[in-house]
Amino acid sequence: MLNLAVVGHVEWVTHTDAPFIPPAGEIVHLTHPLTEPAGGGAVTAAALARMGARVTFFTAAGDDVPLVEWMAELGVRVLAARRGVPHTRALVMRDPTGERTICVIGENLHPTADDPLPWDELAGCDGVYFTGLDPRTLQLARQARVVVVTARRFEALVASGVRVEALVGSGNDRGEQFDLSRLAVPPEHVVVTDGERGGTGYRAVLPPGPVVDSYGAGDTFVAGVLFGLADGRPLEEALALGAEQAAETVTWRGAYPTRPWMASW
């Protein structure tokens, strides 16, 4: 069994349905709210657990929601630095085509190298996915055999000075653009995704059912890439695994196919 970790954030997300995404000045009535822990770090961690890995999630948590407990229900071991503030919220609007628009409310909570978490465990990991803010935690993550970083944290990668196996970013997201010349050491692989058109070195996979919700597809793609690389597979196979996992994700609503906490909370 692969021993993998995620370093980064989790949001307390409310998914809703919107008849349209409102332009400036308009009002939209949202329906069918569904609330759960999600966001880039949480979705990737849960996807890795579904794929059969042992997953540890290094994060930070507010004091007002059962974030750690609900992630544990998804098979993820959570090591959370406690913050005495309300947890970060996010609002997701799903339009009639299944496309999602995300509004994050406030700053994300991230762990730092100063938090009393067992950072030495990262040295025993087969792979780590980094979506944190503190470049020192990326330096700690570099103890693992394989490190994959989201382009959304490119500034942390620059500041860390470390080499990573893969940098993955969306070509359609303004928050995930980057300039490789700023890196002291370039990544071994750079992957730019382009939604249903595929991306660098891979083709998109047709979903196994009707498209319901695009939320979490990108994060799940990264989970597949990390799993494949940590498993010793060539990049092409890791990308194909990511595309396969992402295609399945769009066939359910929200971040996860099941929510076991609904039976226990």
List, for residues 231-248, the tens digit of each pLDDT value. Answer: 999 999 999 999 999 999
Which spans in the chain are helix H?
A: 40-50, 67-73, 135-141, 154-160, 217-230, 235-249
Residues 6 or more apart whose CB falls under 8 angstroms from that of 4 comprise 48, 53, 54, 55, 56, 125, 126, 127, 128, 129, 226, 227, 230
Q: Please give the share of the chain, as a percent, with pLDDT higher than 70.
A: 99
Owner of token pair 């692989």 = 189
Quick one: which of 120, 169, 117 has its CA closest to 143? 120
Domain extent listing, the chain? 3-253
- Give residue 101's pLDDT: 93
Give tens-digit pLDDT for 83-97.
Answer: 999 999 999 999 999
Query: How many other C-beta atoms lie within 10 A of the C-beta of residue 197?
Result: 10
What does pTM read for this prediction?
0.95
Contact 172, 195 (CB under 8 A): yes
Averaged pLDDT, 185-202: 92
Quick one: which of 230, 240, 47 has its CA closest to 145? 230
Give tens-digit pLDDT for 11-52.
Answer: 999 999 999 999 999 999 999 999 999 999 999 999 999 999
CATH of domain 3-253: 3.40.1190.20
| Amino acid type, 123 | A
- Give residue 265's pLDDT: 52
Higher-confidence residue: 173 or 221?
221
Quick one: which of 251, 168, 163 has its CA closest to 202? 168
Report whether pLDDT(158) > 60. Answer: yes
- Give residue 176's pLDDT: 87
Quick one: which of 7, 10, 205, 176 has its CA closest to 88? 10
Report whether pLDDT(264) > 70. Answer: no
Report whether pLDDT(129) > 80. Answer: yes
Contact 57, 76 (CB under 8 A): yes
- Give residue 175's pLDDT: 84
- Give residue 263's pLDDT: 72
Quick one: which of 126, 121, 93 has its CA closest to 228? 126
